[in-house]
Structure 1
Amino acid sequence: MSSERARLTALYGGLLTLAGALLMGLVYVLVSEGVYSSVLTAVVPAARLDAASGPALPTSDWAQTTVVQPGRYAVAQKVSTAAGDAALSQLLTVSALSLAVYAALSVGLAWWMAGRVLRPVGVITARARRLSGSNLHERIALKAPPGELKELADTFDGMLDRIEQLVAARQRFAANAAHELRTPLAVQRAAAEIGLADDPPPEKVAWIREKLIDTAAGSEQLIEGLLLLAVSDEGLRRREPVDLGATTTTVTEALAAEAAERDVTVDVAARPVGVEGDPVLLDHLVHNLVANAVRHNHPGGAVRVRVGPGGLEVANTGPVVAPETVPLLFEPFRRARARRHAPGEGAGLGLSIVASVARAHGGEATATANPGGGLTARVTLPTCA
């Protein structure tokens, strides 16, 4: 910051000094133009001017009403010239001294002004140097009149808000992922230690085998979801035209058997909509939305799937969801109800993967709670011709 302050000081001080030098130069030129005639007017004795005698005098009101003898006029002219030179010399000396003092004051004032202007930058720099994972809650909160630097400080505070939220979300994600991965491992170990400690009967071995397979399947599903979430967070590696309507139709047909098993009716109306993106990620997006709508439902419930120019909309019946908890469902490992570790329950990554894939495609995922129960999830994506 000191170098920037020195540059601003040189700029401000130079401009002020240049303005002072130009002003004093202009004054010197204007004064020198009339100083000789003014001095001559002051020293020549008053007399009546004879039109035929003496040399011509300066054209002024005084010259038209006075007369001077030739000898006296020459002396007066020499005196006025000497007086004018002395006055101009004195003026030049005073101007030079004044300019030197003015330049010194200008530099001092410029240094002070530059410090005042750059003070918010110093505050931002000092705060940025102190920031770490333990004090991301601190803000600049610059108290200054509206301006560019005030806007910069407010923008920096807004950036810190987003960083704090991102770091907190990542910390929660890591903690939840560790917990979710630790639980099935603990179940597997306990089943192996308890069930296989002695010589177990065949039916117990079969039960343990089934339990270990279910736990391993859940762990595999969790790891696959984590990897998919990480891939979608990185953005798209490839883009190609994808028919969102055809993808939705294919996915809902693949889930028809599960929907029938759960006694859930799925109504699909998918129009052709072109999207530029990754077909695999878009397939996961649609699958997670429709699968969530089917699984978080009740027997005899319904799922409505619509695809149009506005994007994808999936609405379902089911348990009543508090409106204030809906935005939280898009965070990893968040569920509308507490986890019971039941088979096929899922890890709570479905909607977070949907939101991540939508962001990767330049879109947005939102949801609203239905008054009678269930959710209406909407995904808007940029379309292509």
Structure 2
Amino acid sequence: MTLRTRLTAWYAGVFLIAGIALVGLNYWFLADWVVPAAGVAAAPVGGTAVQRTVPLETMQTLEVSSLPADAVVWSPAAVKSDVMTTVLWQSAIALVVAAIIAVWLGWVVAGRVLAPLHSITSTAHRLEAERLDQRIELDGPPDELKELADTFDGMLDRLASSFDSQKRFVANASHELRTPLAVQRTLIEVALGAPDASDDIRRLGAHLLDTNERSEKLIDGLLLLARSDRGLATRELVWLDEVIDDEIESCEALAAEKKVTFAVRTRRYLVDGDPVLLAHLVGNLLRNALLYNKPGGTVSVELDRELTVTNTGPTVPAQAVPGLFEPFRRLRDRTGTAGSGLGLSIVQSVARAHQGSAKARPNGGGGLVVQVNLPETGVRQPS
């Protein structure tokens, strides 16, 4: 039962209790009423209006011929009983009608009172960590609901400021770390190029270069994640199917190394967005599908209503799938790969930046199925 229904029920219940109490009080007062005339009343048989009241002391002189032919004679007790019965039934009917009107008015008033709460709820539903620009901005008198809405807006301001500060910190820190990593790589390469470098130094240098490369990939991933989290500064029309073809071509060497084949089925698909971020989205999906695959496996790429990438890697537990979209979260059997744990996080962030979504589920024969929904524009290529 909704809050609006409960408020209406409470309002109608209180109204009925008050109405019944009022009718009962009136009936009790009417029960103490004494008929002023200590006599009898005469009225037509089919009528309700008393035509004549005759005092009791003159009853012995009252002649039947003096009354109308269709008259009946009521005693004071009968008049009182008839009045009380009429008042009771009319009050009951009026109370039922008034209760129906009260329920309708209660429903309308409860809706108007709860309208600000619906606004707060709808705003909360639209909020995400990457979209904290929604505000209620409730207009009205300074009552409790206005205070609640203002408090909610203030909380959103603080959260937005905190998230922006965090994103700026990640972007700035990642950017600052790229320079010393580049310097380290240069020094290692110079040391390895020296003619007197021993075999131990060359082995150590190769290991350091590999570690340096991993760190640079991690920094680049953090920068890309921070950029996509901030949203799109500019947009342009991008053919997503062409982006997929380009990224598949760039992954051919890795696919040959992993002995994995591609199965591609796409159609023309136009997206309004950032071509660089979209290329990273597709590239991360393809490289993840290749890295976490098995020799002789396949990577299926389908683009119809959405982009679906399926691989034939090891079995993925269903309960572990949501955690794969979190930064640095990987399955235990994936920790030996060259990935940084940011691939699906970047995919989800880029999809959200394009007002889309990303989800995944285990593949029936092993591996993972990742589905990315990106809004397609209404523009079509001329036939």
Scaled by the length of structure 1, what TM-score is found? 0.50
Scaled by the length of structure 2, what TM-score is found? 0.50
